Structure 1
């Protein structure tokens, strides 16, 4: 039975990766074969049915996505707000934005109805400060099909939206209320701000309960999972509920009320009911429902614990979860929770761990099991992560979470005081762990096999201390080997620009991409994960071409986590807090023996606007010249041609101003004479970049064109091998 369950799980996953027609053909073949092969009949039928369901579910989700041919057009929509939303400032001067999810009742394009799911919309400079769930509107909006930025990172924005039922994104052009709920005054509370943050975050599952800085701290220490309402919290609630109910049953017996053989069942059902209530209050997310289902099964099967294998129960829960949502396997929470529990069952079952073992072995088991998952999801793994989890998980489980639950239903001064103390302790530990500079295994599939071998050695009987020593040596080796990689990247950051060079353990970043709110930027979503993935501990050189948001929006976020030794900018006065030097006053600058930068300065009198203040630099990367002119205009291009002439010749040109018609003039292209032009621009962006006139000039000169909007990230290595985000296999729904 266990084998059939695991086969069904794998088949559902594989089904989501294949088009529905192909899966139906394969299922028909398997069904026909099963008639002839009686010994494997059930196995083949399970594969056929499970894969068909996975593919059918995915195809139904894809069918609701906005059709490509009308993506980027204007639509009339009517519907109601799905969840509360607050307006927040953007980093664009004088603008605020209200981002919300709309459950549409009707969507029309030129009067014709369009079938869609939920819409994720932005309203710039909105007429209200907030939306309440249940507010209803009529609006004119611009919609486009969701599209992931491709940077070889684990998080898939397009797939996440599809799982959430969001089938189009866009922005509001005009809006009228058809129903606006009353904004009543908020209930007062005597609790401190720290306590309210923990209650909102751990009990009610609000992601904005903690600041972006706090999220960065826990992510860096590998303890982010403790702040996300998950199976850990559900399990804790179940345990507390069972203990309290058991105590109540014993109290009833003491006072003479007999419960007979039903006492244990009363405690178990109380735990199931209380945990279910917690799941409802915390938002009823699929991860919480999954954890509640697992807790319920364990409670029901507790009495038969000697006859069942808990790994089999866990596999059954996994199958039920995937039947409900076959695409859930792509989420980090699904993998983290199931792999962690599997690791505990696999590595602790039937083992004696001595005195130290009960404290160290569970942590080692979980970290050993989660290591491949953490690497796949771009999370470095090292000694500091093991130490942090060893201390932080008990602090959350046995102190902060129970107090948060208590204070959510009963305000107590002593509990509030205790919570403030524990909160300070939690963040002080996080700050301490962030300050430690210990080697880590960097993300990458190449390290998965050694980890699996280490786990198998422990399973075969090797002492945990020997495995821990092997882990330390392996971490050092992996850290040193990965540090020597060399590559040049132009990231896919939508309508913006960001490049990175990594060579001989040194790192250069040119521009950061845009920031869309104080909580989200392309620096946090793309640049910083790549710095972590490549093993950088700091920046040796940072260049900010000019101050526009699409080039410098993520500057504060980046420097807060990765200090830069040398900082150059085209408009240093705009970044006084970070003490930038003027790039127009620099000539040659070396990053390493094989990588150098040459700056072409434009006379100050010709820098007529922000764009013409851009740093213009030529990157010499292992003999290949890459010219990066920022957002300069055609007038600045002509002036540079007059000043520097043939010195501007390059193998690769990163088109100025994202391919705008105000740049990439004919005289510029003829002088630079690139074999390739790379353009960093957003998919169906509202500016129309790259402009058709620029594309015509490139075609006339037989210059090879690469667009990040089409190819994803672009990169070359020291040997000249090129790679891109969409060059290899991509899921069929894209």
Structure 2
């Protein structure tokens, strides 16, 4: 019978795992991007399988049919994840359907942060009006306050199950897909005093043992340090058994600025280091076993024992998805070592990726998967041709030098290989990353982690003897934290960058491959030339989009319940009118998570002017991040000094970044930006006297109203003004309010958008910035009816997503992110 893999060296199946893995990846991507054709692809899978069997039966090579079968299998593997057919008893049918008596089991360790406890609940029953029905599905549960709920507890409470929603902007994070790939389709919240524990779901013996061990380790680590060691203890818990609940966002940012954020999660680096240290120790130990030594089995037995320890480490760490992938990757390499097939690392790496994707196809969309394989692939490809063998006759100094050079090169290749992925997802690169990794990877990876795991083994038998080991780990990590602070506090430690497109990432990797293979591969120079030409064309395209365009582009950003509008003026001037925001940026920073990604995707690194219509949180808080990281020159305000934490923070950032703060009013002169003119229409200079004399409604009525004119088109930005301010505005405008696009006042509330304003403006289009399902009911029905009666086209960010309007000075072209809401 013929083999499916008859290719000679250099053929498509020379490294068989590579084309098979690529075919599977292509199928997964198509399955996620274009779902709904599973019957067709099932037929194609059968056809490809039959074609392969026929070729084998006729003793003929089957080159493409096996790959096509794998491609189709990849497509079908995504069907359970993207299919909308969940069954009639799934919780997706009960989303946004009012309050229910919910009962379910806690699936994840609850995490307390900023007064809120979060976990995942496996919903079992829903009850209402005396009727109970069994259901299935997982929801994210937020408990307001601290609770004693533990993993496996059955809980009951009254709540609404809300659907998960995205901020629908270009370049935005797809939160719904992210949660769906974790099997979570809804969210609910309840106050701690309203949550009742009604029982416990039986846990397996292995789960109970692991949970008990994690609890014991936590207590031992707490006992191994003092009150000043909290951060070091939190890091040690994260590294030893995967508990990251003590890692604050501030600590994580310090590690990210230093370029060592990967050290805080149990990933391929930690598992690989543990495997390397254990393997080398076992090889040395087994070398004293004469039977193994005579048979040449020391390395195979060491690899087998290491595999067992790696699996135990993964189980102790809770086998999170990132840990699972790291364990599988290392396990594949160890199995290859056991089987004596370590000569081709690229093929082995492909086998590891194939094993992970077969087990979990959604892992392809995981950042940890992408970073791990990009790093290892860059190291494997980059080290080809380098000889770091020590040699038997080399001096000690030469051997140490080779090891040091190899470590530096490996670190540099890992950073270079992951750079585009890091920039694409995080928009930040650490300038000091190479230097910090050279110091911290050995300190944390080769000292603290192995010592922590050794102390864990000791704790299994003698808890008291384990405390000194954990104490030494804590001191090592205190030293590591000091090093992190030295690097992170450097003003140039990290820089924010725009988002590279998929095309730009491909150019980078192709150019990198070509540079490494110049003189080796026949087409390397042609690939490099093509990459340079394509990069030049890409640069010209973005230069036109950013600086050479002659139109005015206005984008209403979907920030939920709030307002944020970006004006891109001819010549590249960028103005942001409000920035959205929630009440507490510590819980969710709209500027960082929503507004900034849209700017970075459009290659905007500088926002020249920020306009704060008034200092309410849903207009102000998103501006803080933009002011800090986007080279802002000026902030325009209405003069309201309403003292809030957000306002004080914004003013502090302005002082730190030397941003000029200008108070504007209706008497301020118009400001011209080429052919575009911005005019302040409201409030008057006398509007604010003292804060004590102004109530909240009056504060809204003090919003800066801006008229942006470009040729024959006019955009009117109104903030949160209500009926009183609208009447004043109409009276003072003297018939000059007519506009093409009106941004509806106060999110479309019934206290605004009066007939007088609509008649004075006579807009063709009305844009309403409001959050989906907001508790205020914005926009109110009578307001939208009023606009429709006036013949206006109504666009709402809650249903249309980001709304982009382009004006050439004569008309306005409109495009919404959600084309068919």
Report the TM range for the smaller structure's normalisation.
0.7 to 0.9
Partner SS state of residue 167, structure 2:
coil
1:631, distance to aligned residue in structure 2 (A): 1.8
Instruction: Tell me the residue number matched to 1:106.
Output: 125
Instruction: Tell me the residue number matched to 1:725.
Output: 817
Instruction: Tell me the residue number matched to 2:181.
Output: 163
Equivalent pair of 1:607/1:613 in contact (CA under 8 Å): no
Equivalent pair of 1:630/1:657 in contact (CA under 8 Å): yes
1:78, distance to aligned residue in structure 2 (A): 0.8
In terms of mean alpha carbon deviation, does 394-403 or 409-418 score higher? Answer: 409-418
Determine whether 1:522 maps to 2:522.
no
Equivalent pair of 2:805/2:815 in contact (CA under 8 Å): yes
Equivalent pair of 2:613/2:619 in contact (CA under 8 Å): yes
Counterpart of 1:122 (choices 139, 142, 150) is: 142
1:77, distance to aligned residue in structure 2 (A): 0.4
Equivalent pair of 2:98/2:161 in contact (CA under 8 Å): yes
Instruction: Tell me the residue number matched to 1:388.
Output: 432
Mark the CA change 1:452 to 1:261 in structure 2 (over 3 Å): closer, same or farther: closer
Mark the CA change 1:670 to 1:66 in structure 2 (over 3 Å): closer, same or farther: farther
Q: Provide the C-alpha distance between the structure 2 equivalents of 1:639 and 1:542, rounded to a whole number of angstroms.
A: 25
1:76, distance to aligned residue in structure 2 (A): 1.9
Instruction: Tell me the residue number matched to 1:11.
Output: 27
Determine whether 1:328 maps to 2:409.
no
Q: Provide the C-alpha distance between the structure 2 equivalents of 1:687 and 1:123, rounded to a whole number of angstroms.
A: 23
1:443, distance to aligned residue in structure 2 (A): 2.1
Counterpart of 2:442 (choices 398, 405, 423) is: 398
Q: Provide the C-alpha distance between the structure 1 equivalents of 2:671 and 2:603, rounded to a whole number of angstroms.
A: 20
Q: Provide the C-alpha distance between the structure 2 equivalents of 1:721 and 1:168, rounded to a whole number of angstroms.
A: 36
Equivalent pair of 1:65/1:145 in contact (CA under 8 Å): no
Mark the CA change 1:454 to 1:523 in structure 2 (over 3 Å): closer, same or farther: same
Instruction: Tell me the residue number matched to 2:77.
Output: 53
Determine whether 1:379 maps to 2:427.
yes
Q: Provide the C-alpha distance between the structure 2 equivalents of 1:176 and 1:576, rounded to a whole number of angstroms.
A: 36
Instruction: Tell me the residue number matched to 1:139.
Output: 157
Correspondences of 1:421-500 after superposition (within 5 Å): 421-432=479-490, 434-435=492-493, 442-461=499-518, 481=543, 484=547, 487-500=553-566
Partner SS state of residue 104, structure 2:
strand
Q: Provide the C-alpha distance between the structure 2 equivalents of 1:197 and 1:616, rounded to a whole number of angstroms.
A: 49
In terms of mean alpha carbon deviation, does 694-703 or 493-502 score higher? Answer: 493-502
Instruction: Tell me the residue number matched to 1:693.
Output: 782
1:399, distance to aligned residue in structure 2 (A): 0.8
Equivalent pair of 1:135/1:177 in contact (CA under 8 Å): no
Equivalent pair of 1:19/1:55 in contact (CA under 8 Å): yes
Mark the CA change 1:97 to 1:534 in structure 2 (over 3 Å): closer, same or farther: same
1:324, distance to aligned residue in structure 2 (A): 2.4
Q: Provide the C-alpha distance between the structure 2 equivalents of 1:594 and 1:5, rounded to a whole number of angstroms.
A: 54
Mark the CA change 1:462 to 1:724 in structure 2 (over 3 Å): closer, same or farther: farther
Mark the CA change 1:375 to 1:436 in structure 2 (over 3 Å): closer, same or farther: closer
Partner SS state of residue 141, structure 2:
strand
Equivalent pair of 1:528/1:558 in contact (CA under 8 Å): yes
Determine whether 1:672 maps to 2:746.
no
Determine whether 1:572 maps to 2:674.
no
Mark the CA change 1:437 to 1:80 in structure 2 (over 3 Å): closer, same or farther: closer
Q: Provide the C-alpha distance between the structure 2 equivalents of 1:289 and 1:427, rounded to a whole number of angstroms.
A: 31
Instruction: Tell me the residue number matched to 2:237.
Output: 200
Instruction: Tell me the residue number matched to 1:212.
Output: 249
Equivalent pair of 2:611/2:635 in contact (CA under 8 Å): yes
Q: Provide the C-alpha distance between the structure 2 equivalents of 1:262 and 1:33, rounded to a whole number of angstroms.
A: 42
Mark the CA change 1:176 to 1:225 in structure 2 (over 3 Å): closer, same or farther: closer
Determine whether 1:23 maps to 2:23.
no
Q: Provide the C-alpha distance between the structure 1 equivalents of 2:480 and 2:771, rounded to a whole number of angstroms.
A: 44
Equivalent pair of 2:748/2:780 in contact (CA under 8 Å): yes
Counterpart of 1:551 (choices 593, 607, 619) is: 619
1:629, distance to aligned residue in structure 2 (A): 1.5
Instruction: Tell me the residue number matched to 2:223.
Output: 189
Equivalent pair of 1:492/1:680 in contact (CA under 8 Å): yes
In terms of mean alpha carbon deviation, does 263-272 or 199-208 score higher? Answer: 199-208
Q: Provide the C-alpha distance between the structure 1 equivalents of 2:358 and 2:636, rounded to a whole number of angstroms.
A: 53
Aligned-residue Cα RMSD (Å) equals 4.0
1:634, distance to aligned residue in structure 2 (A): 2.2
Counterpart of 2:679 (choices 598, 615, 618) is: 598
Q: Provide the C-alpha distance between the structure 1 equivalents of 2:578 and 2:93, rounded to a whole number of angstroms.
A: 31
Partner SS state of residue 520, structure 1:
coil
Q: Provide the C-alpha distance between the structure 1 equivalents of 2:407 and 2:688, rounded to a whole number of angstroms.
A: 65
Mark the CA change 1:153 to 1:281 in structure 2 (over 3 Å): closer, same or farther: farther
State the TM-score, normalizing by the size of structure 2. 0.76
Mark the CA change 1:307 to 1:667 in structure 2 (over 3 Å): closer, same or farther: same
Q: Provide the C-alpha distance between the structure 2 equivalents of 1:403 and 1:120, rounded to a whole number of angstroms.
A: 37
Determine whether 1:510 maps to 2:554.
no
Determine whether 1:247 maps to 2:313.
no
Unpaired segments ≥5 residues, structure 2: 1-15, 56-63, 201-214, 390-401, 456-465, 652-660
Q: Provide the C-alpha distance between the structure 2 equivalents of 1:478 and 1:395, rounded to a whole number of angstroms.
A: 37
Equivalent pair of 1:54/1:326 in contact (CA under 8 Å): yes
Instruction: Tell me the residue number matched to 1:92.
Output: none
Equivalent pair of 2:715/2:742 in contact (CA under 8 Å): yes
Partner SS state of residue 113, structure 1:
strand
In terms of mean alpha carbon deviation, does 670-679 or 300-309 score higher? Answer: 300-309
Partner SS state of residue 234, structure 1:
helix
Equivalent pair of 1:524/1:558 in contact (CA under 8 Å): yes
Q: Provide the C-alpha distance between the structure 2 equivalents of 1:15 and 1:414, rounded to a whole number of angstroms.
A: 50
Partner SS state of residue 678, structure 1:
strand
Partner SS state of residue 377, structure 1:
helix
State the TM-score, normalizing by the size of structure 1. 0.84
In terms of mean alpha carbon deviation, does 605-614 or 187-196 score higher? Answer: 605-614
Partner SS state of residue 74, structure 2:
helix
Aligned residues: 710
In terms of mean alpha carbon deviation, does 689-698 or 606-615 score higher? Answer: 606-615
- RCO higher in 1 or 2 (8 Å CA, sep ≥ 6)? 1
Instruction: Tell me the residue number matched to 1:663.
Output: 752
1:513, distance to aligned residue in structure 2 (A): 2.0
Structure of larger gyration radius: 2
Q: Provide the C-alpha distance between the structure 1 equivalents of 2:148 and 2:677, rounded to a whole number of angstroms.
A: 50
Equivalent pair of 1:154/1:377 in contact (CA under 8 Å): no
Mark the CA change 1:666 to 1:722 in structure 2 (over 3 Å): closer, same or farther: same
1:199, distance to aligned residue in structure 2 (A): 1.3
Determine whether 1:80 maps to 2:105.
yes
- 1:76-95 deviations in whole A, cap 9, x for unaligned? 20123333445555xxxxxx
Mark the CA change 1:281 to 1:616 in structure 2 (over 3 Å): closer, same or farther: farther
Q: Provide the C-alpha distance between the structure 1 equivalents of 2:405 and 2:375, rounded to a whole number of angstroms.
A: 17
Partner SS state of residue 78, structure 2:
helix
Equivalent pair of 1:716/1:723 in contact (CA under 8 Å): yes
- 1:84-142 deviations in whole A, cap 9, x for unaligned? 445555xxxxxx64444322221246636363422123345x4x456433443321111
1:594, distance to aligned residue in structure 2 (A): 4.6
Instruction: Tell me the residue number matched to 1:709.
Output: 798
Q: Provide the C-alpha distance between the structure 2 equivalents of 1:506 and 1:708, rounded to a whole number of angstroms.
A: 24
Mark the CA change 1:307 to 1:318 in structure 2 (over 3 Å): closer, same or farther: closer
- 1:295-321 deviations in whole A, cap 9, x for unaligned? 112112125556753222222322222
Q: Provide the C-alpha distance between the structure 1 equivalents of 2:255 and 2:728, rounded to a whole number of angstroms.
A: 49
- 1:343-386 deviations in whole A, cap 9, x for unaligned? 33334334569989746654554455435534543635xxx64x
Mark the CA change 1:109 to 1:225 in structure 2 (over 3 Å): closer, same or farther: farther
